[in-house]
Chain A
């Protein structure tokens, strides 16, 4: 192992070390950009009642809103960058059981009350080729 490392060291010039350090720095510098962009694309949740936009909720802010639909009150909660339906009328409680959503392209639908909650944007992946 030590022999191997000595050989490796002999093969590298000071310019090589500089380049390696530079690339590592560059990669580190672009990683936060990755997170920022990923968050920015899913920052909003659009709440619709009968297809009409009634709220645009920022996922960056923890909040609760109530939408009054034909069947009653639907309470929507935003917390820690995620959305869920806290309470909604309807026998099956489907939208409440869906739990939290946070990714672009995801949606919650409370059919009895005509309320939909959608995070706009596409999932970011169309295809993977190898």
Chain B
């Protein structure tokens, strides 16, 4: 689906902006709520990344640019609301979210097919985790030991990407039908 522009269809453009705002609000809420839960596994930065479902949705229905913008805004506003803005964790989350969104946009464009939405979601989750490691290494602790986390990060990315991907496919089928978008 091509993104709406102001010139082609004013009403559709307005609708797309409203949908973007609603999605952003939803993404922030999910992001903040998820942060309330204790980590499922004792690895720093390990999260399910449920708000990435919202980013994926925006990519599919509003265009890749909107999805990337939503990922950035979600991280900044989300950590602002959670009270962690300017903390190392927030910076890691922003970098991870941005790179993840770029990877998702790329794989939606070039790697689908053969990949499905679940595969794209897995790639996004892994990109998110690996980016956090790399940024943490360069900005905070220059300890090579940080990369011992790599296998964990790959497996965790696989699991969280699989779960969020499956939820996303299920959700989009239903939503697409209800909204008449797909």
Q: Which residues of A contact B (CB under 8 A)?
A: 7-8, 11-16, 18-20, 23-24, 26-28, 30-31, 34, 37-38, 41, 122, 124-130
Whether, in the assembled complex, B72 has its beta carbon less than 8 Å from a beta carbon of chain A, the answer is no
Whether B115 lies near A16 (C-beta < 8 A) is yes
Chain B neighbourhood of A130, CB < 8 A: 39, 44-45, 89
Whether, in the assembled complex, B180 has its beta carbon less than 8 Å from a beta carbon of chain A, the answer is no
Known: A122-B143, A129-B88. A19 touches B150 (CB 8 A): no
Give the bracket for the number of chain B residues in contact with chain A. Answer: 35 or more
Whether, in the assembled complex, B123 has its beta carbon less than 8 Å from a beta carbon of chain A, the answer is yes
Whether B114 lies near A124 (C-beta < 8 A) is no
Whether A11 lies near B158 (C-beta < 8 A) is no
Whether, in the assembled complex, B162 has its beta carbon less than 8 Å from a beta carbon of chain A, the answer is yes
Whether, in the assembled complex, B138 has its beta carbon less than 8 Å from a beta carbon of chain A, the answer is no
Known: A30-B150, A31-B151, A130-B39. A18 touches B114 (CB 8 A): yes
Whether, in the assembled complex, B148 has its beta carbon less than 8 Å from a beta carbon of chain A, the answer is yes
Whether, in the assembled complex, B86 has its beta carbon less than 8 Å from a beta carbon of chain A, the answer is no
Chain B neighbourhood of A26, CB < 8 A: 154
Whether B143 lies near A129 (C-beta < 8 A) is no
Whether B145 lies near A15 (C-beta < 8 A) is no
Measured CB to CB, the nearest residue on chain A to B136 is A129
Chain A neighbourhood of B39, CB < 8 A: 130
Chain A neighbourhood of B116, CB < 8 A: 11-13, 15-16
Whether, in the assembled complex, B15 has its beta carbon less than 8 Å from a beta carbon of chain A, the answer is no
